[in-house]
């Protein structure tokens, strides 16, 4: 188990202070990468609700990231003066609604059937974004919508500076990740989700509504992905079909697995690795994705619990496995 002192208020406070002061000692490019890490961490955490907690492998999770990004961008573009708060809420809601509609079909299945159906829906939405040029402008994408926003939230970027955007993303993503952690590890709902993953027949026998629990979890996951997509759209001030394509869906699988699915914050570690190591490798070779793929294969074969699993090699820092591996 991780010693209790790791999660002491002092330790958490130090981390939060570090996150808050980081931009003051970082270059603009480093702040840019740090913001990407926070957004992708939220995206990876949302994916792990399905993969780690329900044991469902999805190949279409970027669909909800894209729905959130497009919804926020279109709101800002076509409703001049709308505050960022409602625009971000609209992106989050778009992801959640997509989760309800698509999840209603997907969560009835499991295993490869679930994976293939999520892939099919993801590719369907990608095709819509690609072909519906009147709305999405197809593969050209569109940007410049942030200037239409009424920047009414405290600390929002009046000039779109990297530092202001960093603080906006952190102020929204960090509390949401913390609330999700509390929901999945400190509440009866989290226990029910884990019991379904461990033994669905037993959960049915105990009287749990398995379908409803799966659908709720799927919807929460989609809503969080929508929020990540919304923040990404604001951060880049640009959207295109790349926010909803298969590459992004595979990237989040890689981040989540490399970081570790048996610990709630494992995907955050995976996002950090993906961004910074990816930047390092891409500066050395155009084939950086091949390197990432080889690392993923190595992790699958020899470190199946991800980087978090490496903590087991250190007796004093053995990660306590999250609820996906523990009995309710």
Q: Lowest-pLDDT range, 136-140, 273-277, 320-324?
A: 320-324
pLDDT at 161 > cutoff 80? no
- Between 156 and 81, residue with greater pLDDT: 81
Does this model's pTM top 0.75? My answer is yes
Mean pLDDT along residues 252-262: 91
Give the pLDDT of residue 326: 45
CA distance 323 to 241: 35
For position 300, what pLDDT does the model report? 83
DSSP 148: G
d(CA 225, CA 134) in angstroms, rounded, equals 25
> Judging by beta carbons within 10 Å of its beta carbon (0-12, 13-18, 19+), is residue 301 exposed, middle or buried?
exposed
Token digits for 169?
A: 């993303």
Of the two residues 145 and 90, the one the predictor is more confident about is: 90
Whether the pLDDT of residue 155 is over 80: the answer is no
Q: What is the pLDDT of residue 301?
A: 86
- C-alpha to C-alpha distance for 121 and 63, rounded to whole angstroms: 8
Q: At 126, which helix (H) or strand (E)?
A: helix 111-131
pLDDT digits (tens, 9 = 90+) for 204-235: 998 999 999 999 999 999 999 999 999 999 99
The residue among 95, 93, 97, 42 whose CA lies nearest residue 66 is 95
pLDDT digits (tens, 9 = 90+) for 37-70: 999 999 999 999 999 999 999 999 999 999 999 9
How confident is the model at residue 16, as a pLDDT?
Answer: 67
What is the per-residue pLDDT across 67-111, written as a single tens digit (0 to 9) for each?
999 999 999 998 888 888 899 999 999 999 999 999 999 999 999
* pLDDT of 319 above 50: no
153 band by pLDDT with thresholds 50, 70 and 90: very low
Query: What pLDDT is attached to residue 81?
Result: 81
DSSP string across 157-174: -SS--HHHHHHHHHHHHH
pLDDT over 90 (residue 275) = yes
Instruction: Single out the residue of 185, 186, 156, 188 nearest to residue 172, CA to CA.
Output: 156
pLDDT tens digits, 3-27:
444 455 665 667 667 777 777 777 7
Q: What is the pLDDT of residue 1?
A: 36
């Amino acid at each position: 188990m991780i010693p209790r002192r790791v999660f002491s208020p002092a330790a958490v406070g130090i981390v939060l202070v570090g996150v808050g002061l980081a931009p003051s000692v970082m270059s603009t490019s480093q702040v840019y990468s740090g913001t990407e890490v926070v957004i992708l961490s939220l995206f990876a955490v949302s994916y792990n609700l399905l993969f780690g907690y329900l044991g469902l492998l999805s190949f279409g999770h970027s669909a909800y990231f894209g729905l959130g990004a497009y919804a926020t961008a279109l709101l800002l573009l076509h409703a001049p003066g709308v505050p960022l708060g409602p625009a971000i809420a609209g992106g989050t809601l778009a992801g959640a609604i997509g989760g309800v509609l698509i999840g209603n079909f997907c969560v009835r299945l499991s295993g490869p059937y679930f994976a293939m159906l999520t892939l099919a829906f993801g590719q369907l939405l990608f095709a819509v974004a690609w072909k519906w040029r009147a709305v999405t402008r197809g593969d050209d994408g569109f940007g410049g919508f942030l200037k239409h926003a009424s920047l009414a939230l405290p600390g929002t970027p009046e000039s779109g500076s990297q530092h202001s955007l960093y603080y906006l993303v952190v102020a929204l993503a960090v509390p949401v990740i913390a609330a999700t952690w509390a929901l999945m590890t400190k509440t009866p709902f989290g226990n029910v989700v884990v019991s379904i993953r461990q033994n669905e027949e037993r959960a049915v026998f105990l009287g749990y509504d398995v379908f409803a629990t799966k659908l709720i979890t799927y919807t929460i996951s989609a809503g969080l992905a929508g929020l990540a997509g919304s923040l990404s759209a604001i951060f880049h001030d640009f959207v295109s079909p790349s926010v909803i394509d298969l590459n992004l869906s595979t990237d989040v699988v890689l981040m989540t697995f490399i970081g570790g699915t048996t610990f709630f914050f494992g995907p955050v570690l995976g996002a950090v690795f993906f961004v910074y190591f990816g930047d390092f490798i891409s500066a050395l070779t155009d084939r950086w994705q091949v390197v990432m793929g080889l690392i993923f294969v190595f992790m699958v074969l020899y470190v199946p619990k991800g980087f978090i699993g490496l903590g087991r090699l250190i007796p004093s820092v053995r990660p306590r496995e999250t609820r996906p591996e523990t009995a309710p």
